[in-house]
Chain A
C-alpha cells in the first residue's frame, strides 16, 4: 500500500516538475511577496517616523530665542524648504513679558492631528516643549532655593515588558500573514492541474483503471501538492529573513528578526497546514466540473484562510480566533517572533484539528472519486 503511494507520489512529482514554468509561477509568490512587503514597509515606516531633522514653521521666533535654540538642539527648527512639515509653532507676543514675570508664556501648536504622517512629528514637538517647560520650571525653583524634585510628588517608573522584537504589532501580523498564505498560493496551480486538469486530459480515468484505491490516489496527490507548498513556505521564510533584515525597523524602535529557530519552527508548524490546504484544494477542484470552474472555486475558497489570518493580524476577537486552525498557528508564530512563551495548547489543538480537516477533505475526495459523475465531470 505504502509502496504504491510512493510510486504514485513520484509520478505526481514528475508530472508537476515537467511544467517548470507553472511551478515557478507558483513559487514566484514566495519570492516576490516578502520583497514587495519590504518595499511597502520601508515607505510606510518613512511616513510614520519623524524625520531626523524636523522642519516646522515657527512664528515670532524672535520673542523666544532661548526656546528656539533649545528646539534646534533637539533637531527641530524653522524651515522654509519643501521638506517643512505642516506644523506651526506660534509664539505669542506676550511671551517675553510673561516669561520674565513668571507667568505662563503661551505657545500654540497648529497641526492636523488626524494626519498619520504628522502625528509622530507633532508628538515629538510636544515632548520637546514639555521638556523645555520642566527645565525652565526647575531652574525657576532652584533660583528660589527649592529643590525641583519636589515637583515629582510621585516618581512614576514604567517597566515596559516589550522587547524590540515584540513592538512590531501590525507589521508582525502582516509579515506572518504573508508567510502563511504562501502555503496556499505556491501549490494552488498544481492542485487544480493534478485534479481538475488530469480529469480534463482524461488521464484520471486511466489512473483509476489501475489496481489502486481512490484513497491512495488522493493521498499521493495531496502529498505531492503539500511538498510544493512546503517548498514555497521554506522559500518565503528564507527570502523574508533577508528581506525583512533590510527594512529600517529601528527607526520606529523595534525589529522583526527572522532567525533559524523561527524558520524551523514555522516549517514544523506549516506541515499540517500544507496537508490540509492540499486536501482542501483537491476536494474543491474535484467538486468543480471543469478546470476553469475549479480555478474560480479555489480562488473563492482561499478567502477562508486569508480571512482567518486577517483576524489575527488585526487582532479581531483574538481570544476566540486563536483556537481556530490557521489563525492559531499564525498567533503562535507571532508569539514566538516576539520572544514570548509558545502557546503550546493552542498549537497542539489547532494542529490536531488541522490534521482532522485534512483527513476529512481527503476522505471526501476519495469518496468523490468513486462516483462516475465526478470522474468524468458530468
Chain B
C-alpha cells in the first residue's frame, strides 16, 4: 500500500458508516414514489401525497375488489422514515382524508418527525362510499317525525338506501376493514405504526391492534369506545353532559341570573312538543326565505345534543333553550341549520358497523338499561327497524372481548364528553398491560383538539412510554362563557330590549 493512501482510506472509511446508515431510508422512499401523487384537501394548505390500493371486497370471494384510498401528510422533519402515525376517523362513517385538517392539528407535534397516514375506511370518503340519500334542509325542517311512527320512517329510509347501494354490508364491518389498513402500511413500506383513533376510530384501532399487534408501536385512543360496549349506550353520556351544563349555569351567578331554572324550562319545552309539535314559519338559515319548521322532540333534543360536542356551541345552549321557551325560535333554527363540522357521515357504512356490531349482541337487560335514556330508546328503535333489512352478518363473539395487549396505550377522555365518557375508557383498559388513562375534566369529545393533549401525544409517540408525561396541563379549564344575549358572553342591562 502506498504511504499516501492510508490517511485517504481512513477518511473514506469513516465516512462510509454514516452513508450505510442513511442508505436504509432509501428503499422506503422508492417504494413510496410508486403509488403516491401530490394532492390537497379542503382547509389544509399543505401538499399531501395520495394514493390507493386494490383490496378484495370480501374474504371468501376475492373476485370483486374495491379501491382503498389514502393520504399521507408528510413529516416536517423525517427523522423516523420507517415509522408513521396512522389516524382513524370517527363516526362511524367519517372520511379520514376529508378531516385531514383536524388530524393535522391534533397530531401537529407527532407530525414534526413522522408522516401521518389517513385511510378512508371501506365504505367512507373515496373508498367505495356507502351514502344514503338524505333530505335537504327544507324537508328536514318541515318533517313532522312524530306524525309517523319512527319504526316506519326508519324502515322506509333503509329500504330506499338498500336499493341505492345494492351491496352486502357484511363486507364493511370493523373486522373486514382492519386488513385494508395493514395493506396500506405494507404498500407504503412502514415497519411500525403509531395509532391515533378518535371516537369510533378507537374501535377500529383496537381491532387493528388485535389483528396486527406486530405492526403497532404505540396507540393513542381519544374518546374511547370499549370493545365490549355498544354504541347504543351513548344515551347516558348525552344526558350527563347536558346535566353538567345545566349545573354549571345554575352555579354561575351571571348565567343563573340571566337564565334561571334553565333545566325546568328545557323539560317544559320537551313536554310541550311531545304532546303537540310546534309549527312555525321561520327564515331559511341561508336563503332567508320563509319556510315551515315543525319542532318535534327529536329535533329539539337532537340539535341540543349536537351542540354539546364543542364548547363553542355549548356556549349557546342556555340562550337557545331560554329563547325557545319564550317563543323565539331563531337561535334554535341557527343550531338546526348549522352544518356540522365533522364532515358527512356515510350512513350505509354507519349501518354496517352498528347493525353488525352494536345491535346483534344486546341482551334484554342491555336493552332495558339503554332504553332509560331518550337517545338509547331512539337508537334501539331505529336499529330494530333497519338492521333486519340490511341483514349484516353479526360479528363473532370474540370481537366483544376487551382488547388484551401489552402495546403502550394512552387513553384520553373528556369529563364533559357527550359520547364517550371517561368510564368507557376504564372499561376498555381492563386487559391492557401497559395503558394509562388521562382525563381532561372540562374537555368534551376529542381531547386532542381541545387541550394540550396534542403535545402529550407527540411526546408519547417519541418516547413510547407515558411514564414521564406531564399531564397537569389537561386540568386547564377550557370552557367558554355562555352567551348572555344574542351578541355575546356579556350580560347587559338593556337585555330585555335586545331580545
- Chain A: residues with CB nearer than 8 A to chain B? 10, 13-14, 16-17, 20, 23, 65-66, 69-70, 72-73, 96-97, 99-102, 135-136, 138-150, 155, 157-164, 227, 231, 234-235, 238, 241-242, 245, 249-250, 253-255, 257, 259-261, 263
Contacts and interface: CB of A to CB of B under 8 A. Distances in A.
15 contacts: A20-B7, A73-B478, A101-B494, A102-B487, A142-B316, A142-B331, A143-B486, A161-B47, A235-B15, A238-B18, A238-B19, A255-B77, A257-B77, A260-B22, A260-B25
Contact of A136 (B11, B12, B329, B488): B488
Contacts of A158: 45
Q: Which of B77, B323, B477 has the most CB of A within 10 A?
A: B77
A147 B491 CA distance: 24
B77 A250 contact: yes
Contacts of A136: 488
B1 interface: no
Nearest to B334: A142
Contacts of B335: 142
B492 A100 contact: yes
Contacts of A145: 282-283, 285, 329-334, 337
Contacts of A142: 313, 316, 331, 334-335, 338
A99 B485 CA distance: 10
Given A147-B334, A250-B76, 17 more contacts: A13-B8, A23-B7, A66-B480, A66-B488, A100-B487, A100-B488, A102-B488, A139-B313, A144-B334, A145-B330, A145-B331, A157-B42, A242-B18, A249-B76, A255-B78, A257-B77, A259-B22
Nearest to B14: A238
Contacts of B476: 72-73
Nearest to A146: B285
A139 B312 contact: yes
B18 A241 contact: yes
Given A14-B3, A145-B333, A146-B285, A260 B75 contact: no
Given A99-B490, A143-B316, A145-B330, A164 B76 contact: yes
B59 to A, nearest CB: 38
A67 to B, nearest CB: 9
Given A17-B4, A97-B492, A250 B331 contact: no
Contacts of A245: 79
Nearest to A142: B334
Interface in B317-350: 319-320, 323, 329-335, 337-339
- 3 smallest beta-carbon distances between A and B, as pairs: A142-B334, A100-B492, A145-B330
A148 to B, nearest CB: 7
B480 A101 contact: no
Given A17-B4, A249-B77, A101 B492 contact: yes
B22 A159 contact: no
Interface string B429-468: 0000000000000000000000000000000000000000
Chain B interface size, as a band, is 35 or more
B105 to A, nearest CB: 12
Given A17-B4, A144-B330, A250-B113, A255 B76 contact: yes
Contacts of A13: 4, 8
Contact of B339 (A65, A66, A102, A147): A147
Contacts of A259: 22, 25-26
Nearest to A141: B334
B39 to A, nearest CB: 9
A163 B74 contact: yes
Contacts of B113: 250
Contacts of A241: 18, 22
Contacts, number: 165
B216 interface: no
B483 interface: yes
A91 to B, nearest CB: 12
Given A69-B480, A160-B45, A242-B18, A147 B338 contact: yes
B330 A143 contact: yes
Nearest to A158: B45
B286 A147 contact: yes
Interface in B1-45: 2-4, 7-8, 11-12, 15, 18-19, 22-23, 25-26, 38, 40, 42-43, 45
Interface string B414-432: 0000000000000000000
B331 A143 contact: yes
B219 interface: no
B112 interface: yes
Contacts of A234: 11-12, 15
A191 B236 CA distance: 83
A70 B316 contact: no
A257 B77 CA distance: 7
B40 A159 contact: yes
Nearest to A160: B45
A194 to B, nearest CB: 14
A304 B40 CA distance: 43
A313 to B, nearest CB: 22
Given A14-B4, A101-B492, A257 B18 contact: no
B286 A150 contact: yes
A263 B19 CA distance: 9
B68 to A, nearest CB: 24
Given A145-B282, A261-B26, A100 B484 contact: yes
B480 A70 contact: yes
B189 interface: no
Nearest to B337: A147
A235 B7 CA distance: 13
A95 to B, nearest CB: 8
Nearest to B112: A250
Contacts of B490: 96-97, 99-100
B3 A17 contact: yes
A74 to B, nearest CB: 11
A259 B495 CA distance: 65
B481 interface: yes
B255 interface: no
Contacts of B25: 259-260
Contacts of A148: 338
B497 to A, nearest CB: 10
A157 B43 contact: yes
Given A97-B492, A241-B18, A259-B25, A149 B339 contact: yes
Contacts of A20: 7
A350 B492 CA distance: 73
